[in-house]
Amino acid sequence: MEDLFLAAERPADPDRLTVSFDAWEGPLDLLLALARTQKVDLREISILALVEQYLDFIDGARQLKLELAADYLVMAAWLAYLKSGLLLPRDEQIDPSPEELALRLQLRLQRLQAMREAGARLMARDRLGRDVFPRGAPEGLRIGRKAAWDASLYDLIQAYGQVRARTQPAVHVVSRRAVMTLDEAIQRVEALVGSRVEWTLLARFLPEGIDAALGRSALASSFVAALELARQGKVDIRQDGIFAPLYLRAANGRAEAQT
Amino acid sequence: MNAEPDDLMRAIEATLFASDVPMSAADLRLHVGDGGDVPALLARLAADYAGRGINLVERGGRWHFQTAADLAHILRREKEESRRLSRAAMETLAIISYHEPVSRAEIEAIRGVQVGKGTLDVLMEAGWVRPAGRREVPGRPLTYATTPAFLTHFGLASRRDLPGIDDLRAAGLLDPVDLALESAMAGSRSDADPEADGDNPVQSVVEMDDEDA
Amino acid sequence: MNAEPDDLMRAIEATLFASDVPMSAADLRLHVGDGGDVPALLARLAADYAGRGINLVERGGRWHFQTAADLAHILRREKEESRRLSRAAMETLAIISYHEPVSRAEIEAIRGVQVGKGTLDVLMEAGWVRPAGRREVPGRPLTYATTPAFLTHFGLASRRDLPGIDDLRAAGLLDPVDLALESAMAGSRSDADPEADGDNPVQSVVEMDDEDA
């Protein structure tokens, strides 16, 4: 990789360069490879120098008309920005500061480097099947599973009861529930709205003193009735917000016509 | 295993261990080199392992490690697992016990759903059901009946001890499904009732075909 | 290997020897019974075999016999090397093992490139990495962690044995960049501050259960 890098630094001799960006796994990888050429601890690396190395490298690659993946160019743009930030006098406070950006880059390089080394150390361990070996022909262990079926007499007779119950002819009785039909509700609401010009709560149109089940049915039917009557142009409906109470009144045109 | 194992002996030990076939002294030399008395070291190794759980044995000039013969039983363990019968198996068993001898077609007619072959296999494997001859009708269907082990398991002196239809009705076990459904839906018995699971008629309605055990 | 092996120890020895997978003390008890101090006998067995051509080793609470590492040269099989891990897979495995549980986005943040679909697949297919639940943050990303087979393959008794993990942690190199940046900018608190570990709430959120092997 170092050879490739050195080659890239000599764009004057393009024939020798067979650099492929496939050699790097992304810009950060390339940056790390460049950083290594500074031959110092990553903590003491000169970010400014690294930025220049990277930009030179990209530049060289461009002169060679190598096709560069977008992320390398994005990194180059970002580093150019960082470079100008580091070089320019800092009268204006930009946030985050160039120093912070540089430090962030340095920290990322350190982390990548740490994991790269950790991976290498991991791979170098005495690995099972490569350096140490399990027994070649183990007899194997076997646990034969023998099912002990569990069922009680109660389970048995209950199962039989259910079979019999299931196969007996079933008689279905539909219980009657109190409902207000839509027709009923339309008649009722239409009659009650009459020529009322003031807004009146929908709930006021329900019969008084009915039980909860019938009340729900009546409310639902009356609501649909109100929609139907509004569609027919007989009532206006108003609601001030979602889930707010509904108000009805006789439709404007009709009320006016009658007055 | 008192002697300090020397390097060649360790190498022989490891090679035999890792090999998937028994090896002769000549095979071993290919791995560990020629510089030692391999047969003597094999004999020493065998002596080291004598009396342990692992032995080094020679068969026809080839050596291999094996577990000590007296420990074979622990390598093959049988484990009893308590398992519940599936609903299909339970119902099938119940029908056989009340109607025996009974053919598979008859069981299906009573259950109202098909009976998978696996279901009868499970009951026979459990030792509760046996084939009970063929019925002399067209097709000569095989019939099934319960076994003495069935009576023993369910604590019955004879099949006559099974509660009759009237007993079942009195116990509420013949309640039509719809009623049982309503009371289940009413909620009171759903969670707390340990029997609710077996009782739950929704399940028997939904589960059309039997799940084999 | 001086002590006369007792029956239970022989049984443990034979069982581990015959098994084709590493076994925990609980696994062993299924075969050898409950009547003895299995962990103590495992330790004794391991001591018996220390220095021999075969060793008894513990990996993530599970035990197996394997050949001694220094004999690799006579046993190494070249063909195994043909399937080398790619660098991407190697780094991804390192990141998962040192940071687990870790999400794909976190892996990508460290590597600076996307994790190819094949990379995690390869590691999971090798049996070294497993999905380890979702993190309860927006998007509920899936996290990954290593498996017992990972420890077995790489000869690690536990994740604490990961090469250099203590140094990396002390140097803050296992902390997320944001956190490291914060403490670096704060200046006075150095990265190596041993207190930083327990002190910092961000870290305890990110490294969910770094400590358990």
Q: How far A237 CA lies from chain B's nearest CA (Å)?
A: 39
User: What is the structure's pLDDT at C25?
Assistant: 94
As a whole number, mean pLDDT of residues A10-38 equals 69
Residues 134-153 of B with CB under 8 A from A: 153
Indicate if C45 and C144 belong to the same structural domain.
no
Residues 16-45 of B with CB under 8 A from A: 17-21
Among the three residues B16, B41, B75, which one is the final residue of a domain in this structure? B75
In a domain, B80, yes or no: no
The chain A residue lying nearest B93, using CA atoms, is: A156
| Subunit contact A115:C65, Cβ cutoff 8 A | no
- Asked which of A185-194, B32-41, B202-211, C88-97 is least confident by mean pLDDT, the reply is B202-211
Q: Which residues of C touch A114 (CB under 8 A)?
A: 168, 171, 173
Task: Break chain A into its structural domains and give their ranges.
Answer: 27-124, 182-250
User: How many Å apart are CA B118 and CA B134, to the nearest integer?
Assistant: 20
Q: How confident is the model at residue B86 (pLDDT cuts 50, 70, 90)?
A: confident
The CATH number of whichever domain residue B14 belongs to comes to: 1.10.10.10
Length of chain B: 213
- Contact of C2 with chain B, judged by CB distance below 8 Å, is answered with yes
User: What is the structure's pLDDT at B12?
Assistant: 94
| Subunit contact A100:C185, Cβ cutoff 8 A | yes
The chain A residue lying nearest B76, using CA atoms, is: A142
User: What is the structure's pLDDT at C103?
Assistant: 93
Q: Which residues of A touch C155 (CB under 8 A)?
A: 125-128, 132
User: How many Å apart are CA B76 and CA C150, to the nearest integer?
Assistant: 28
CA–CA distances in Å: residue A15 to residues A1, A7, A12, B115: 18, 10, 9, 79
Indicate if C60 and C158 belong to the same structural domain.
no
In a domain, C71, yes or no: yes
| Subunit contact A165:B67, Cβ cutoff 8 A | no
Indicate if B187 and B116 belong to the same structural domain.
yes
Indicate if C152 and C117 belong to the same structural domain.
yes
Query: Counting Cβ atoms within 10 Å, is residue A181 exposed (0-12), middle (13-18) or buried (19+)?
Result: exposed
- Contact of B3 with chain C, judged by CB distance below 8 Å, is answered with no
Chains touching B (3+ CB pairs < 8 Å): A, C
- Contact of C154 with chain A, judged by CB distance below 8 Å, is answered with yes
CA–CA distances in Å: residue C124 to residues C105, C118, C132, C144: 17, 10, 12, 10
- Contact of B14 with chain C, judged by CB distance below 8 Å, is answered with yes
Q: Are A48 and A86 in contact (CB under 8 A)?
A: yes
> pLDDT tens, C97-144?
999 999 999 999 999 988 887 888 889 988 899 998 888 888 888 899
pLDDT of B195 > 60? The answer is no
| Subunit contact B76:A165, Cβ cutoff 8 A | no
As a whole number, mean pLDDT of residues A94-98 equals 78
Cβ pairs bridging B and C (under 8 Å): 80
User: What is the structure's pLDDT at C16?
Assistant: 94
Indicate if C92 and C30 belong to the same structural domain.
no
Nearest to C23 by CA among C67, C59, C66, C68: C59
Q: How far A140 CA lies from chain B's nearest CA (Å)?
A: 8
User: What is the structure's pLDDT at C2?
Assistant: 43
User: How many Å apart are CA C23 and CA C33, to the nearest integer?
Assistant: 14
Nearest to C119 by CA among C132, C102, C107, C106: C107
> pLDDT tens, B11-27?
999 999 999 889 999 99
* Greater pLDDT, B193 or A86: A86
pLDDT of C188 > 50? The answer is no
Q: How confident is the model at residue B190 (pLDDT cuts 50, 70, 90)?
A: very low
As a whole number, mean pLDDT of residues B196-201 equals 38
Q: Which residues of C touch B67 (CB under 8 A)?
A: 14, 17-18
Among the three residues B45, B75, B105, which one is the final residue of a domain in this structure? B75
User: What is the structure's pLDDT at C202?
Assistant: 38
Q: How far A220 CA lies from chain B's nearest CA (Å)?
A: 25
Q: Would the pTM of this model clear 0.80, i.e. be above it?
A: no
User: How many Å apart are CA B146 and CA B132, to the nearest integer?
Assistant: 9
The chain A residue lying nearest B87, using CA atoms, is: A159
Q: How far A131 CA lies from chain B's nearest CA (Å)?
A: 11
DSSP assigned state of B2:
-
Q: What is the mean pLDDT of chain C?
A: 82
**Helix (H/G/I), strand (E/B), else coil: B78:** strand
> pLDDT tens, B54-75?
999 988 889 999 988 888 888 8
Indicate if B70 and B129 belong to the same structural domain.
no
User: What is the structure's pLDDT at C212?
Assistant: 41
- Look at chain C and report how many structural domains it folds into: 2
The chain C residue lying nearest B8, using CA atoms, is: C53
Indicate if C126 and C40 belong to the same structural domain.
no
Cβ pairs bridging A and C (under 8 Å): 132
User: What is the structure's pLDDT at C90?
Assistant: 93
pLDDT of A135 > 60? The answer is yes
| Subunit contact C72:A128, Cβ cutoff 8 A | no
Q: What is the DSSP string of C179-209?
A: HHHHHHHH-SS-TT-THHHHH-HHHHHHSTT
Q: Are A148 and A142 in contact (CB under 8 A)?
A: no
In a domain, C137, yes or no: yes
User: How many Å apart are CA B88 and CA B93, to the nearest integer?
Assistant: 9
Q: How far B29 CA lies from chain C's nearest CA (Å)?
A: 11
**Under CATH, domain A182-250 is a member of which superfamily?**
Structural maintenance of chromosome 1. Chain E (1.10.10.580)
In a domain, B23, yes or no: yes
In a domain, B62, yes or no: yes
| Subunit contact B9:C51, Cβ cutoff 8 A | no
Please give the span between the terminal C-alpha atoms of chain B, in angstroms, as a whole number: 52
The chain B residue lying nearest C54, using CA atoms, is: B14
Chains touching C (3+ CB pairs < 8 Å): A, B
The chain B residue lying nearest A174, using CA atoms, is: B178
Range of the domain at B45: 4-75
- Contact of B79 with chain C, judged by CB distance below 8 Å, is answered with yes
Q: Which residues of C touch B12 (CB under 8 A)?
A: 53
By DSSP bridging, strand A142-150 and strand B76-84 are parallel
Q: Are A236 and A193 in contact (CB under 8 A)?
A: no
- Greatest mean pLDDT among A27-31, A78-82, C40-44: C40-44
pLDDT of B77 > 80? The answer is no
In chain A, which residues touch B (CB < 8 A)?
133-137, 139-168, 170-172
In a domain, C30, yes or no: yes
Q: What is the mean pLDDT of chain A?
A: 80
DSSP assigned state of C2:
-
Q: How far C158 CA lies from chain B's nearest CA (Å)?
A: 24
Please list, in sequence order, all residues whose beta carbon lies within 8 angstroms of the beta carbon of residue A174, skipping any fewer than 6 positions away: none
ipTM summary value:
0.61
- Contact of B30 with chain C, judged by CB distance below 8 Å, is answered with no
User: How many Å apart are CA B163 and CA B174, to the nearest integer?
Assistant: 12
| Subunit contact C162:A28, Cβ cutoff 8 A | no
In a domain, C80, yes or no: no
> pLDDT tens, C19-54?
989 999 999 998 888 888 999 999 999 999 999 999
Among the three residues C44, C75, C106, which one is the final residue of a domain in this structure? C75
As a whole number, mean pLDDT of residues A30-40 equals 87
The chain A residue lying nearest C77, using CA atoms, is: A130
Length of chain C: 213
Indicate if C127 and C48 belong to the same structural domain.
no
Query: Counting Cβ atoms within 10 Å, is residue C4 exposed (0-12), middle (13-18) or buried (19+)?
Result: exposed
Nearest to B147 by CA among A160, A147, A145, A149: A149
Indicate if B42 and B100 belong to the same structural domain.
no
User: What is the structure's pLDDT at C211?
Assistant: 39
Sheet holding C102-103, edge to edge: C102-103, C142-146, C129-134
Q: How far B133 CA lies from chain C's nearest CA (Å)?
A: 42
| Subunit contact B53:C10, Cβ cutoff 8 A | yes
| Subunit contact B90:A159, Cβ cutoff 8 A | yes
User: How many Å apart are CA B12 and CA B18, to the nearest integer?
Assistant: 10
| Subunit contact A142:B77, Cβ cutoff 8 A | yes
Indicate if B69 and B96 belong to the same structural domain.
no
Chains touching A (3+ CB pairs < 8 Å): B, C
Indicate if B105 and B181 belong to the same structural domain.
yes
Indicate if B115 and B157 belong to the same structural domain.
yes
